[in-house]
Amino acid sequence: MTIRKVEIERFSMTSSKPFEVVVAALKAAVGHPDMGEFMKATNGARSFAELESAVHRGLGRTGLMLFIEFDLGAILRKETGLDRPKIVRFVIGNPLIMKEMAKHVPDAGSYAPVTILVDERPDGVHLSYDKMASLLAPYGNAEALAVARDLDAKIENLLRESAV
């Protein structure tokens, strides 16, 4: 048994825009493939080129896609009967980027696709993301870290675009 300590860097920013505007901007920047069809296309691909084509069809202008969205606030709102809090977790990524990290550090598959949390607080709408490079740093693989840093830049740009 091995236990590895991982120090996580969390990228966070706050927007003065309304929650719904931030969420809409984030969702507009990523692809929204029908995940059932996406899985059929990727699992049924006869070659890597076919798989790449299926992935590319699912990507948005940022080179990322939405895998799933969890409305975490809905559970809390049911308890209180109020229209707050608003908290959404987005699982976003690109399988081809994940592949590049996982071929060097298989544990990268535990972290990709990534989670983006958007939540409304009294001081504004918070957007948060655990940086992939910090998650992979303990593994010491330069190739995986380079890919992780590129992914971090994509995600951080997405969050900035959505927030301002």
Q: Tell me the per-residue pLDDT of 113-134, one tens digit each, with 9 for 90 and over.
A: 999 999 999 999 999 999 999 9
Question: What is the pLDDT, as a whole number, of residue 82?
Answer: 84
Q: Band of the pLDDT at 152, cuts 50, 70, 90?
A: very high
Which CATH number applies to 10-31+63-163: 3.90.580.10, 3.30.310.70, 3.20.20.70, 2.60.40.420? 3.30.310.70
Give tens-digit pLDDT for 39-73.
Answer: 999 999 999 999 999 999 999 999 999 999 999 99
Q: Assign 3-state DSSP to the chain and report helix, strand, coil percentages, each to 5.
A: 50, 20, 25
- 142-163 and 95-102 are packed helices; what angle lies between their axes, rounded to 10 degrees? 150
The CA distance from 127 to 34, in Å, is: 25
Instruction: Give phi and psi for 60, each to the nearest 5.
Output: -90, -175
Phi-psi category of 55—alpha, beta or left, where left has phi over 0 and alpha has psi -120 to 50? alpha
